[in-house]
Amino acid sequence: MPDLMIKTIQDVLEYEQTPLEKRMRCFDTYQMLRQGAAINPEAPAISFILSGEAYNQPMVVNYGDFMSNIHRTANLFTDLGIGPRDVVSYLLPNLPHTHYVLWGGEAAGIVNPINPLLEPSTIGEICRAAGTKVLVALGEFPGSDIWEKVTAVRKELPGLEAVVRVMGPGDEKEGIYGYDEVLPKYNGDRLDSGRRFDPGEIASIYHTGGTTGTPKLAPRTHLNEAFMAFIFSLVGEFNTGETMLCGLPLFHANGTTVTGSLPFSIGAHVVLLSPRGYRDESIMRHFYKIVEHYRAVTFSCVPTVLSVLLDVPLEGADISSLRYAVCGAAPLSVELFTRFETHSGMKILEGYGLTEGTCGSSANPFFGERKIGSIGMRLPYQDMRVYVVDDQGGFVREAEVDEIGSICLQGPNVFGGYLEEAHNQGIWPQPGWMNTGDLGRKDADDYFWLTGRKKELIIRGGHNIDPALIEDPLYRMPTVQVAAAVGWPDAHAGEVPVAYVQLQENSPLTREAILDFLKKEVGERAAVPRDVIVIDQMPLTPIGKIFKPALVRDAIRRTCEIELAALGGLAESIEVAVEPDKVLGSLANIRIMPAAGASPADVEAEAGDILGRFTFKYRIRIG
C-alpha cells in the first residue's frame, strides 16, 4: 500500500508536517534508480513487445541487466567527452535502449529527449539551442526516417562531436559509433567517472510548447525529477513488483516519469507497448489481451486513447487486475469519462501537470472523492494557486473560491526557467511561482478545475468563448469519437466558432444533425458554431493530444478557398497552403493562375481586397 492515503486536502497538509528532506531518501535520478533496482535484481524491469500480435513474446530485461546497461551507456558517454554540463540528445522510439540512453545520459551529463516526428529544421534548432555534444539516434529501420533526419542536420550542429547509432553499424572515421557494437566494451558495474551528484544540477532538457510554435527548452534538475517520482509513489495505488503499461512516447515527461522513473524507483515492472506505443494500431486492437496477459494494474494515457479503446471490444479478456487509468495532458469530457468507466469497469484518475513542473501537480485521489471533470487536489510538498494577473503577467491578487484566474505552481518540481531567457518574460507573477498559462478555478474543497487556455480562447468580436462550451456537448453525442472547437476567420467579428468532429465508424450522424444538436445544447448564443466539419482523422500530437493549430490552419485554408471563389472568371486555378510561421504563427501561401486575358496586377489587387478584411497573414503569388 502507498505511504499516503489522500482523501481530502487535510491529509496532504498533515503529511507535510514532516519536512521533505526527512521523507525522501534519494535526491538524484541515478541513486533513485539504483535503489529501485536493488530491491530485487532478478525481477523484470522491462518487458518489450514488438507489436500487438506478438504481445506474449516479449524481450525481458531484469533489474540487474537494466542497471548494467545504464552504467555501460553512461560510461560510453563519458568516454565520448560528456561531463555533468554536457548534453546528450536522442531521437529514439520506445525501446529498452531508450531508457538506457535516458538514464545513462543523466548519469553522465544532461539528457535532451527529442520528438523524432519533428521536421529536421526543428530538430536542428533544438540541438543548437541545447548545445548538443552527442546525438543518439535509431539507425536505418523500415518505416522510420530518423536516420535520414540525422543525416540532414548533423553537419549543421557546430558543437556536435559524436553520433551514436542504435541498431546500426558504426563508422568512427565519420564520428559515428554503433551503440550495440561498442556497449559491451564498457563497465556495467558502476560509473567510471565516480560522479557525485548535486541535486541542483541539470538532469534533463525537454522541449515543450510544440503545439503553439517553436519548441521552448525546459531544463529540470535531479531534485525536480527525483522528487516527482517520490511524490507519485506516495499517492497512487501501485506497488513494488506490479506491472504498468507504457504507451506514451519516451521523449515526453509523462512517458519518462509516470511510466519510467516512478516504477523503476520502486522496483516495479514496465511493459513497453511496441516502439510506437499507442500509435500502433495492433497494440490498441490487442490492448485488453495485453492487460490480461501481464496482469497490469494501471496505465497512463490521454483522452484520445480512451476514445479509441471505447471501440475495442473486450472479447472476454479478464482485465480485473486494472485498478485505474491515469489520464492527463488534456481535459477529459464527463461523457467520455462515464462511457469508458462503464465499458472497462476501471477507475479513471484525472490529473494535471506540465513539463515545466516535471510532470504532475495535481490529481484526483485514488482513495477519496473523484470530482469528474476536475484535475483534483494539489500533490504534497508543492503548491498550486489561482492568481489574477495583469496583461503583462504580473500578480494582482489571489483569486477567490470559484473565481477564474491563472493556474500557478510553486515547489521542488517546478523548473527554474526556460533555457532561452526570452521565454521567461511574464511567467513569474510572484518569485518562485510559475504561471502555467492555463485558466482555472479552485472550489471550496480545494479541487482545481481547468476552464481553458488564454491562447485557445475563441475571440468573437471581443467576446471570449471557451471551446469547452462546444466540445462538452459534442462528447455527449453517442458516436462522436473526438471533437474540437476552434476559431474560423470572420471579416466582421475576427473569428467565429466552428467544430471539427471525428465520428466512430458507421456513425449515422450528419453535419446537419450535429449542428441542430449544438443549437439546442450550447448554452451561450455566441458560442453556437457557425459550422461543423466532419473529418476522417483528428490531427494529434505524438502523445495523442488534439493538435488545434492544424485545425486553425485548415480553417484559414478553407476560408481562403471559399472567399477567393469570388474571383470567378479572373482565375484559372487557385492553390492555398497554410503553414506554421515562427514569427507570424501561421501564413497562408496562395498561388493564383490568372485566366487567359486577365491582368495579373488586377487579379492580385482583387484577391488582396477580398482577403484584406481578415486578420490572418497571407502571401499572394501570381502565375
pLDDT in tens, 273-296: 999 999 999 999 999 999 999 999
Q: Each residue of 351-370: pLDDT tens digit?
A: 999 999 999 999 999 899 99
Compute the distance between CA of residue 375 and CA of residue 364 in angstroms, rounded to an integer: 6
Residue with cell string 450535429 = 514
Q: Do domains 457-546 and 558-622 have the same CATH topology?
A: no
Residue 582 has pLDDT above 70, yes or no: no
Residue 528 has pLDDT above 70, yes or no: yes
Query: What integer pLDDT is reported at residue 212 of this predicted model?
Result: 38
For 362, the grid coordinates are: 495535481
Residue 502 has pLDDT above 60, yes or no: yes
- Shortest CA distance to 584 belongs to which of 214, 220, 260? 214
Q: Each residue of 223-244: pLDDT tens digit?
A: 999 999 999 998 888 999 999 9
Running DSSP on this structure, what letter comes out for residue 433?
B
- Shortest CA distance to 499 belongs to which of 517, 490, 487, 507? 487
Residue 524 has pLDDT above 80, yes or no: no
3-state secondary structure 220-249: EEHHHHHHHHHHHHHHCCCCCCCEEEECCC
Residue 449 near residue 511 (C-beta atoms within 8 A): no
- In what helix (H) or strand (E) does residue 538 lie, and over which residues does it extend? none
* CA contacts within 13 A on the Cβ side of 560: 26
Which band of pLDDT confidence, cut at 50, 70 and 90, is reported for residue 544? confident
Count other Cβ atoms within 10 Å, centred on residue 515. 15
Residue 138 has phi, psi (to 5 degrees) of -70, 135
Residue 176 near residue 136 (C-beta atoms within 8 A): no
- Considering the segment(s) 9-448 as one domain, its CATH architecture is 3-Layer(aba) Sandwich (3.40)
Residue with cell string 469570388 = 566
**What number is the average pLDDT over the span 183-212?**
89
* CA contacts within 13 A on the Cβ side of 248: 28
Residue with cell string 513539463 = 355
Beta bridge partners, 591, equal 575, 621
Provide CATH code, domain 457-546.
3.30.300.30
Query: What integer pLDDT is reported at residue 341 of this predicted model?
Result: 87
Residue 161 has pLDDT above 90, yes or no: yes
For 357, the grid coordinates are: 513542473
Query: What integer pLDDT is reported at residue 2 of this predicted model?
Result: 58
Count other Cβ atoms within 10 Å, centred on residue 335. 17
Over the range 372-382, which residues count as b (16 or more CB within 10 Å of their CB) and which as e? ebbbbbbbbbb
Residue 1 has pLDDT above 60, yes or no: no
CA distances from 580 to 210, 584, 586, 587 (A): 11, 8, 4, 6
Compute the distance between CA of residue 385 and CA of residue 121 in angstroms, rounded to an integer: 38
- Shortest CA distance to 319 belongs to which of 347, 350, 349, 297? 297
Compute the distance between CA of residue 89 and CA of residue 110 in angstroms, rounded to an integer: 8
Q: What angle do CA 235, 236, 238 make, to 5 degrees?
A: 135
Residue with cell string 500533490 = 379
Higher pLDDT, 461 or 592: 592
**What number is the average pLDDT over the span 68-95?**
98
- In what helix (H) or strand (E) does residue 219 lie, and over which residues does it extend? strand 216-221
Pairing of strands 87-91, 110-113: parallel
**CATH class held by domain 558-622:** alpha beta
Residue 583 has pLDDT above 60, yes or no: no
Residue with cell string 487536489 = 377
Which band of pLDDT confidence, cut at 50, 70 and 90, is reported for residue 454? low
Residue 210 has pLDDT above 70, yes or no: no
- Which residues touch 403 (CB under 8 Å, ≥6 apart)? 386, 388, 441
Residue 452 has pLDDT above 80, yes or no: no
3-state secondary structure 32-89: HHHHHHHCCCCCEEEEEECCCCCCCCCEEEEHHHHHHHHHHHHHHHHHCCCCCCCEEE
pTM over 0.85: no
Mean pLDDT across the chain: 92
Share of the chain above pLDDT 70, in %: 95
- In what helix (H) or strand (E) does residue 42 lie, and over which residues does it extend? none
Which band of pLDDT confidence, cut at 50, 70 and 90, is reported for residue 477? very high
Compute the distance between CA of residue 268 and CA of residue 260 in angstroms, rounded to an integer: 10
Compute the distance between CA of residue 468 and CA of residue 59 in angstroms, rounded to an integer: 43
- Which residues touch 466 (CB under 8 Å, ≥6 apart)? 451, 452, 457, 458, 527
Query: What integer pLDDT is reported at residue 213 of this predicted model?
Result: 44
- Which residues touch 38 (CB under 8 Å, ≥6 apart)? 63
**What number is the average pLDDT over the span 513-524?**
89
Compute the distance between CA of residue 42 and CA of residue 39 in angstroms, rounded to an integer: 9
For 201, the grid coordinates are: 544540477
- Which residues touch 622 (CB under 8 Å, ≥6 apart)? 591, 592, 593, 594, 600, 603, 604
CA distances from 277 to 128, 272, 447, 568 (A): 28, 7, 31, 48
Q: Hey, where are the domains in the chain?
A: 9-448, 457-546, 558-622
Compute the distance between CA of residue 363 and CA of residue 378 in angstroms, rounded to an integer: 7
Q: Each residue of 372-428: pLDDT tens digit?
A: 878 999 999 999 999 999 988 899 999 999 998 999 999 999 999 999 988 898 999
Which band of pLDDT confidence, cut at 50, 70 and 90, is reported for residue 523? low
Query: What integer pLDDT is reported at residue 118 of this predicted model?
Result: 84
Residue 304 near residue 277 (C-beta atoms within 8 A): no
Residue 545 near residue 482 (C-beta atoms within 8 A): no
Higher pLDDT, 1 or 115: 115
Compute the distance between CA of residue 619 and CA of residue 608 in angstroms, rounded to an integer: 9
Query: Among the ranges 20-29, 544-553, 608-617, which has the highest mean pLDDT value?
Result: 20-29
- Which residues touch 194 (CB under 8 Å, ≥6 apart)? none
Higher pLDDT, 117 or 271: 271
Running DSSP on this structure, what letter comes out for residue 504?
P
Which band of pLDDT confidence, cut at 50, 70 and 90, is reported for residue 330? low
